[in-house]
Structure 1
Amino acid sequence: MAAVRAAKQALRKEIKRRVAALSDEEKQRQSRVLSRQLFSHPNYVSCKRIAVFLSTGDEVSTEEIIKDVFKCGKSCFIPRYQSSSNHMDMLKLNSLQDIETLPLTSWNIRQPPEDDISREEALSTGGLDLILMPGLGFDKSGKRLGRGKGYYDTYLERCIRHPKGKPYTIALSFKEQLCREIPVDDNDVLIDEVLYEKEE
């Protein structure tokens, strides 16, 4: 366990360095390429209920994706992380404008406040069809390196127990976030598919 943890820490540093070296233009360019790949993906086309992370500066931008989700009339859910534990809920986003009203957390992520109990929580209603997964690093076999808190792994465990079953999971990755192999332990849930810009 300790060896896996140490290997993950070293890899996190290395990937952060690689992503930090990318220009904003290059990040936007790759984000556009991945958005287009996603829009034609059969699991995206057919999904009705989708969970999308609100991207930060070092992640593939989900802005165009969220716009498209609303344009297509799909239900959009976004994460609310509890800073005191590894518990996360996916709460319904009502509109694009809704994002602007959300407060920023200490991690600089917009999310519904803890006392907002009016929003629909994905698992207490119809579950999810698709989750777009953030992460620091990925390999082509679906292993994911998160930020170490385990929010998504524990959320996926809850999804598996939901009557609808586990949603399809797609990670959005800059090429610079791809690794030959990510070290994993028993708690790490594999991702169904990693989207990245393929070399022509």
Structure 2
Amino acid sequence: MAAVRAAKQALRKEIKRRVTALSDEEKQRQSLVLSRQLFRHPKYVSCKRIAVFLSMGDEVRTEEIIKDVFKCGKSCFIPRYESSSSSSSSSHMDMLKLNSLQDMETLPLTSWNIRQPAEDDNSREEALSAGGLDLILMPGLGFDESGKRLGRGKGFYDTYLERCVRHPKGKPYTIALAFKEQLCQEIPVDDNDVLIDEVLYEKDE
């Protein structure tokens, strides 16, 4: 276990270095390419209930995707990460319904500088308490072609996907959005890591 943890830490550093070297224009360009790939994807076209992450600076931008989700009349869910004060290792996350683009702009900012519903906001539907999810767009630091994912080490998505598996609808299809610079030959994984169904990245024609 310690060896896997050390390997992950080293890889996180290396990927962060590669992504930091990307210009904002290049991140934006790759993000638009991936958004267009996603809009043609059969799983996206057919999905009714989709979970989308609100991107941080080192992640594929998801603003265009969220706009399209509303334009297509799909139900959009976004993560609320719980930072439990009692235990720094808490990895509880819910996917809460986002009502509109305007709704997104009024959400409070977290210490990670991403917007999410406030901890005391109980008015929103949680995806798993109702109809489940058809598709989850997955963030992450690194990915390989076989669907292994390197997260930030907190386990939010792995834990959430385990909850999805127990939902009557079953596990949603998972698609990761990656800059080319986030692809790796092989990601070291342990037993808690959940594989992703598909990794979308810009392929050289």
Shorter-chain TM band: over 0.9
Residue of 108, 122, 145 corresponding to 1:117: 122
Q: Is the 8 A contact 2:76 2:97 kept in 1?
A: yes
CA distance in 1, matches of 2:75, 2:5: 36
Deviations 1:1-51 (Å, cap 9, x if unpaired)?
Answer: 000000000000000000000000000000000000000000000000000
Q: Secondary structure at the match of 1:59?
A: coil
CA distance in 2, matches of 1:72, 1:84: 37
Q: Which moved more, 1:8-17 or 1:81-90?
A: 81-90
Q: CA deviation at 1:84?
A: 6.4
Q: CA deviation at 1:85?
A: 1.3
CA distance in 2, matches of 1:139, 1:109: 26
Q: Secondary structure at the match of 1:91?
A: strand
Q: CA deviation at 1:145?
A: 0.1
Unaligned runs of 5+ in 2: 83-87
Distance 1:103 1:139, change over 3 A: same
Deviations 1:86-112 (Å, cap 9, x if unpaired)?
Answer: 000000000001111100111111100
CA distance in 1, matches of 2:56, 2:162: 25
Deviations 1:123-165 (Å, cap 9, x if unpaired)?
Answer: 0000000000000000000000000000000000000000000
Unaligned runs of 5+ in 1: none
CA distance in 1, matches of 2:59, 2:41: 20
Q: Secondary structure at the match of 2:29?
A: helix
Identical amino acids, percent of aligned pairs: 91
Q: Is the 8 A contact 2:89 2:154 kept in 1?
A: no
Q: CA deviation at 1:182?
A: 0.2
Q: TM-score scaled by structure 1?
A: 0.99
Q: Secondary structure at the match of 1:92?
A: strand
Q: Secondary structure at the match of 2:36?
A: helix
After superposing on structure 2, the runs of 4+ consecutive aligned residues of structure 1 that deviate more than 2 Å are: none
CA distance in 2, matches of 1:117, 1:91: 10
Residue of 80, 97, 100 corresponding to 1:95: 100
Deviations 1:62-84 (Å, cap 9, x if unpaired)?
Answer: 00000000000000000000176
Q: Secondary structure at the match of 2:70?
A: helix
Q: CA deviation at 1:56?
A: 1.1
CA distance in 2, matches of 1:28, 1:108: 18
CA distance in 2, matches of 1:22, 1:5: 26
Residue of 174, 184, 187 corresponding to 1:182: 187
Q: CA deviation at 1:57?
A: 1.1
CA distance in 1, matches of 2:7, 2:161: 23
Q: Secondary structure at the match of 2:14?
A: helix
CA distance in 2, matches of 1:23, 1:105: 25
Q: TM-score scaled by structure 2?
A: 0.97
Distance 1:93 1:148, change over 3 A: same
Distance 1:104 1:11, change over 3 A: same
